[in-house]
Amino acid sequence: MQPLQQLRADLRSIANPEKAEILSGFFKTGKGQYGEGDIFLGVMVPQQRRIAKEYGFLSLKNIETLLASRVHEHRLVALLILVQQYRKADIQEKETLADFYLDHATRINNWDLVDLSAPYILGEHLCGKDAAVLFRLAVSENLWERRIAIIATFAFVRKYRFNETLGIAETLLHDQHDLIHKAVGWMLREVGKRDMRSLERFLKDHAAAMPRTMLRYAIERFTASKRQYWMSKKAGGRNSAVVR
């Protein structure tokens, strides 16, 4: 059996229909929802990580095939393999993998797929480089490209480089989707863990315009009194959101 066929068979062998039903609801696969059309096998992430480790040698052609699949676990395993390959790659190989990632960004089309890959491939690749591509993604009509833009900057934040995160957060202030509100708030919170002054400067300028979900996520680690203070800035503010 070919490696790609074997990988799929390995996933099928540990499929769990009950978990698949739960995951289908959790990741909003119904008509008109952000995950519409996604198919779940019911394989949990730790199991997928083990399978990805076994198939770390998979070719980009086979990874591309997995990313084209409607089966959620196929796409996540493909991305976990890409993360492994990127970590082990030389400079030229890293360039190839980052380009591949960008070329297939529309197939990285649920929040877990983005969160488990964007910082570790695209984010790591752009550290120390021009990150203009992230600002282009931040204004994409595609929800997942916008989420990739902000979540990729987690790699920068971990290296105490905040300008891109704050700049993209500002670009996404008026985004209409709750998944972007949560992602931006999360990254702002990560900035605050490392540099509270940078976060508070951002809040001073933008708290009143931030969607409530974004603001709540950003100030989650504040004291109760400070949370109350910043939430008061939202009095009369906008609270549009698409609920997950």
Residue 60 has a CB neighbour count (10 Å cut-off) of 16
**Three-class DSSP category at 86:** helix
* Residue predicted with more confidence, 117 or 236: 117
Local confidence band at 138 (pLDDT 50, 70, 90 cut-offs): very high
Average pLDDT over residues 54-80: 97
Give domain status of residue 110, yes or no: yes
The answer on 111 and 72 residing in a single domain is yes
Number of structural domains the chain divides into: 2
Is 197 within 8 Å of 232 (Cβ atoms)? Answer: no
Residue 223, phi-psi category: left (phi > 0), alpha (psi -120 to 50), beta (remainder):
beta
Residues 111 and 3 grouped into a single domain: yes
End-of-domain residue from the set 56, 87, 117:
117
For residue 122, tell me if it sits in a domain.
no
If pLDDT is split at 50, 70 and 90, which confidence band does 195 have?
very high
Q: What is the per-residue pLDDT for 234?
A: 77
Supply the pLDDT for residue 244. Answer: 38
Are 136 and 237 members of one domain? Answer: yes
Residues 47 and 147 in one domain: no
Domain boundary among 117, 135, 150: 117
Binned at pLDDT 50, 70 and 90, residue 171 comes out as very high
The whole model's pTM is what? Answer: 0.93
- Which residues does residue 229 pair with via DSSP β-bridges, in sequence order? none
Which of 84, 117, 150 corresponds to the end of one domain?
Answer: 117
Q: How far apart are CA 210 and CA 183, in angstroms?
A: 13
137 and 165 in one domain?
yes
Collect all residues with Cβ–Cβ distance below 8 Å to 218 and sequence separation of at least 6: 184, 185, 188, 189, 192, 199, 203, 210
60 and 139 together in one domain: no
78/165 same-domain check: no
Q: Is position 147 within any domain?
A: yes
Which amino acid, one-letter code, is at 194?
Answer: R
CATH of the domain at 206: 1.25.10.90
What span, in angstroms and rounded, lies between the C-alpha atoms of 81 and 65? 13
Which residue segment(s) compose the domain that 63 sits in? Answer: 1-117
Q: Which residue has the tokens 């084209």?
A: 68
What is the spatial distance between Cα 33 and Cα 136, in angstroms, rounded to a whole number? Answer: 25
For residue 242, pLDDT over 80 is answered with no
pLDDT of amino acid 216: 97
**Within-domain flag for 203:** yes
pLDDT reported for residue 239: 43
Is 69 inside any structural domain?
yes
pLDDT at 135: 97
Q: Output the DSSP codes for 138-193.
A: HT-SSHHHHHHHHHHTHHHHTTT--HHHHHHHHHTTT---HHHHHHHHHHHHHHHH
87 & 136 share domain: no
In the predicted model, what is the mean pLDDT of the chain?
94
Q: Average of pLDDT values for 8-29?
A: 96
